[in-house]
Structure formats: C-alpha cells, structure tokens
Chain A
Amino acid sequence: MADTALKADTALKQDPGTLAVGLLAADPAPGSTPGPTAQEIAAIREDFPVLHRTVGGHRLVYLDSAATSQRPRSVLDAETAYSTGCNAAVHRGAHTLAEEATDAYEAARSAAAAFVGLGPDQIVWTRNATEALNLVAGVLSDPLTAQDPHAAPLALRPGDEVVVTEMEHHANLVPWQRACARSGARLRWLPLTDDGRLDLTRLEEIVTPATRVLSFAHVSNVLGTINPVDVLVARARQVGALVVLDACQSVPHLPVDLSALDVDLAVFSAHKMLGPTGLGVLAGKAEILQALPPFLTGGSMVSTVTMETATFQDPPQRFEAGTPPVSQTVALHAAVDYLTALGMDRVAAHDRTLTARALAGLRDLPGIRVLGPVQAVDRVGAVSVVVDGVHPHDVGQVLDASGIAVRVGHHCAQPVHRRYGATASTRASLYVYSTPDEVDAFLDALSGVRAYFKKA
C-alpha cells in the first residue's frame, strides 16, 4: 500500500525553487516554506472525488475539515484494494491472507509512527481519539492501577490534581471529570485570555506539585489557537506531572514531532487527516505505555489466560482488545503517505495563507466577531465567528444555500463558547484542498447573512 501512486505527486516533487510563488504564498510567515501554488492546489483537488459534486446546484465549498476531512482517491483505493485483495484477521492464522493483513496493519502502524516522530511500538490503534483519551483517563483512575506495582506512581488518588484548559473539546474534559470523580482527584483548568490564548500568568499557581496530569489541546478546535507545548511541558516536568496532548487538530495541519515535543501521551484522529472514520491513535513514550495496565480487555491483548486470571501482552497489543479496524489502518497509511508527499511544512504554509486571508476579510465585515486570535500567528485555519443577531444554525443554513459547508453549534466545546459569551458559533475550517476562492465565497455569503435576517 505504501507505494500507492499519488496523482499530485509529480507536481509536488518539483524543486521548490522552480515553483512560481503564486497568490497562495502571499502571506507566509517569515522564513517559512512557501505553500503550494494555485496550480498545485488545482492538482490536489483533482485527487478528491467529493469536491466535484454540487450542493443545491452550487459547486461544493467544503469548509468543515476540522470536523472531518475529505479523502483522496489514493486513500479510498487503498482501503478498497485491501478489502478486495486481502481482508483477514491480524496477528493470528497461518494462511497467506492473514500474514498479508498483519503486514499491512503493522506497516500502517510504522507509517503513522514515523509521521509523528515515534517508533511503531509507541502507536496504539483505538476506535477514535475520544476512546484514546478515555483509555488514559480510565486507566489512571482505575483502582487496580493504584495496586499495580509498575503503574502505581501514575495512579490518581484523593488530593491529586488534574489540570486541563478552558478551551478543551469535551473529549479532553469529560473523561477527566469522570476520572476525578472515580479517584477523588480534583480537576483544575488554565483560563483563557480575551484574545483566545491560554492565560499562563497563573501557570505556577495552577500546575503545582499536586498536579499528576496536565492534559491539553495542542490546537483548539474552536479558536484555532496553537498552544505553547514547550512552556506547558517545562512546567509539568518541574512538578512531575504526566503530559497528555490532544493533537487532533495539530497533526493534520502542522508538522508534529511528538518525540521533540517530549509529551508523555498524545492522541489524534484518522478522519481529520484525510483518513477514514473509525480509527484513532494513542501515542506515547514507551516506558509510559509499558507501565500502564490495560483498559479494554478480552482477546488479542492477553498472553496467558486461566479461569482465574490473565497476563497481558506488551504495548501496543495490550491496549488493542478485540478485532481492530484493519482496513482503516491501511487507509490511514495512504493518508499519511499523501500528506508526507505534500510536505507538512507546505500544508501548514497553505493553512496560514488562507487563514490570514479569512481573518483579513472578516475584519471588514460589520457585525461579525471572531472567536480566537485575529492574526494568523500561532493559529490554524479553524475560524469560528459569531454573527451579531443571527444564530449559527441560521448562518449555516444560508451558507448551505450557496453550497458552502461550515460547522455550526458548539463544536463539542461548550465551556470555551461560554467563556466568550456565546452559546454556539459558525466555524469555517480549511485544509490542503481549500482555495482562496472558497475563502472569498465564505466571506461573501457571510456578508449577506445579517441583511437576510434584517439584522443589518
């Protein structure tokens, strides 16, 4: 599967020096790699079949990639090729198909690991990132963890503290609420500044020697803010806290090296990075994964089972109970290859350019408030807005009438909306196939919304 041909490959592997720096690269951060040219983006779009459909007679303008990204043909083809040419249970069976399936499954693990700077044994497949976070929070608050000689130092106990931030997705908040309720630990959080960033003025007061876990979003799914992992990790090391990184919105959009970031555990999601649904990743330091007891139990994760007890395999198998989503891992492998061929530096540059264009356009629209940083600095292209006097559901409906797909609602992050005085918002989110024209179409449609509801 690794050698699946990419249509855009040829164009993208040209010497960057010979590429015309077109309108797409109008606003790169100083010293950064330029993004793809307009011609390259056109070639990329050819790889995504769904982008050629229409909605209500309009060309689809897909601006909801932070919720789920679209899949290129190579990803769809890889999954089909596996399903039609192999499809067998992994890690068992002596037949050819089973061996090929196991090879494909483990090759995908190696590819995903390399993509984030880790080794294959540091990648655990889960059903989604939410399950990965529940795994971590669940195991740390399991009474059995406190009794396990290897894991006991990581176990949450009464008097311990877990720190998150006010900008978390519910998936990195609710599991910790439950973990604290189970273990008697206390949940605390870092507040936010008015301009949509972590307020670190009280960092030392909130992350203290009582803090056992510091779990936070690398990038906010509502604000787009890129959080300073280095600062937070440094503080966690001072106090001896375990660092858990929710990388769902960073791994798809930025070059992410989890080894260099020095986080203990991280999670991300296949379907936000051109891959399939039904597959998440828990990544971690080998010694941390080795110390953690299992979460879900059953087949595939045990060594010896008697009627009374069981022993467990080493990571990552220890955390992969039951039949895994094999064809999805094969598809993610193709997605990782696709993003690698594009180059994550260039993906990030493209994101930055379009984000700057969106933010500049929004500045000129009356009655529109951006949630999050208003400059394309340390933020990605998830741009959430509140339209004065018009509910996000109504905004989304008006945009849909022009074929523009955006996200409306609270985006599974109610506290951050409450922090900025909103119940819900309208979010446009960008990816490798997004174009300046699409950003402009969004701005244009948005500019007519208040007039439609006679609020302007």
Chain B
Amino acid sequence: MSLDQLYQQVILDHDRERHGCGLRPAPEGTADAESHQVNPLCGDQVTLRVAVRQTPDGPVVQDVSWAGEGCSISQASLSVLYDLVVGRPVPEAEELLGAFRTMIRSRGTVEPDEEVLGDAVAFVGVSRHANRVKCAMLGWAAFEDALHRADAGPVPATAAPVPLTAVPVPVTADPVPATADRGEDR
C-alpha cells in the first residue's frame, strides 16, 4: 500500500485544520462530560468534552471540543469526528462510532459505506496498519466514553451540574493489537 493511500488528502487537510480543537465550556442547558485518553505506545493524549442537549425528539450531540497532541492520523480523526457528530442525534452518532470502529479494526477486509461514514472513509487505509489503529481510535474512544456519561446524566434546570472533569480512564476500547509496538522490551 502506498503512502498516499494511507495519508489521503482529507487526512492531511484535517490534520492542518483541526476542527473542534480547543476545549470550551458546554453550551447552557446541556449535560456534558469529559474524557481523557492516552495512547501508551507513544504517549499521545486527548481530552475531549461532549455536550448533549435533550430535545423532544431525543438527545442530540450539541457540541464537541477537544485538546490534545498526536500524529496526523489521530489529529485528523478528531477533526473529522467533530464535523460528523456535532448536531446529530445521539443514536446516529453511536451508529457512526460503531461503523468507524468496524472499519478501523477490519485489517482491510471491510469496504466502508460512505453513506454512513462520510469523510471518515478516508481512514480506511489505517486498518491495514495494525500499529496505527490506536492513533485513529484515540479521539473516538474519548468521544464514546464522554458521550455515555454526558447522555446518562441529563440535567434538569434545578439539578446539580454534572462534574466537568471525569476521572481519566485508560483506552480500553481498543486493546493493543498483537503486532503493535508496546515499547522497547529488553
């Protein structure tokens, strides 16, 4: 596989533009939660905040913001995530998350559905590089963790606010693939 198949133009563009980058307070009337995720292979990390608004039609992802450092794959993945999930009903965002994870973990065996994944199909090449799977999943694992906790605690006007900072949790959603580099064993 050529380098350009891995680093598609969408990825290079999002790596530079980084949509949603910069943590900001949740909009009023939303429930929010934060997740901090670390890639133990390289020390890359992200803190991502999700704000969920309850509407008569169900919960909606009102806002996502994030701060972190990482490679082009991880940063572009966060930027694309932002574009795809903000404004979406929570169940749709969860469906997207599932489709993204399936594609990334497929080792190149899944033909991604652009209807579902939109710009996220650009990450299809990552699935052929076992040691980059975690890079692509870092932001999405943070989104999943924060979303679940934000959506679990809708805030009526009189209730106590959900704590802004959740306890940091390690990335458990994506165990290190057998072929990945775990450090310099001696």
Contact = CB atoms under 8 A, between A and B. Distances in A.
Interface stretch (B20-28, B39-47, B85-93): B39-47
Interface stretch (A203-211, A232-240, A344-352, A405-413): A405-413
Contacts of A409: 41-43, 181, 183
Interface stretch (A6-14, A30-38, A159-167, A387-395): A387-395
Contact of B73 (A248, A394, A410): A394
Interface centre among B69, B70, B74, B183 (most CB of A within 10 A): B183
A407 B184 contact: yes
A280 interface: yes
B186 A410 contact: no
A423 B129 CA distance: 22
Contacts of A98: none
Nearest to B6: A397
A401 B3 contact: yes
Interface in B1-45: 2-3, 6-7, 12, 15-16, 41-44
A186 to B, nearest CB: 26
Contacts of B71: 391-394
Contacts of B12: 453-454
Given A67-B184, A423-B69, A410 B42 contact: yes
Contacts of A128: 185-186
A299 B135 CA distance: 44
Contacts of A392: 42, 71
A424 B184 contact: no
Contact of B184 (A280, A393, A398, A411): A411
Nearest to A393: B71
Interface residues of A, number: 35
Nearest to A131: B186
Interface string B138-179: 000000000000000000000000000000000000000000
B72 A453 contact: yes
Contacts of B107: none
Given A221-B184, A454-B12, A454-B16, A424 B3 contact: no
Contacts of A454: 12, 16
Report, as a range, how many residues of chain B touch the other chain: 20 to 34
A393 B42 contact: yes
B186 A401 contact: no
A360 to B, nearest CB: 27
B101 interface: no
Nearest to B45: A423
A393 B43 contact: no
Interface string A266-285: 00010110000000100000
Interface in B60-96: 69-74
The 5 closest A-B CB pairs, nearest first, are: A391-B71, A393-B71, A412-B184, A401-B3, A129-B186
Interface of B: 2-3, 6-7, 12, 15-16, 41-44, 69-74, 129, 132, 135, 181, 183-186
Interface of A: 66-67, 128-130, 169-171, 221, 248, 269, 271-272, 280, 390-394, 397-398, 401, 407-412, 414, 417, 423-424, 452-454
14 contacts: A130-B185, A221-B184, A269-B186, A271-B186, A390-B72, A391-B70, A391-B71, A393-B73, A393-B132, A397-B6, A409-B43, A409-B183, A423-B43, A452-B7
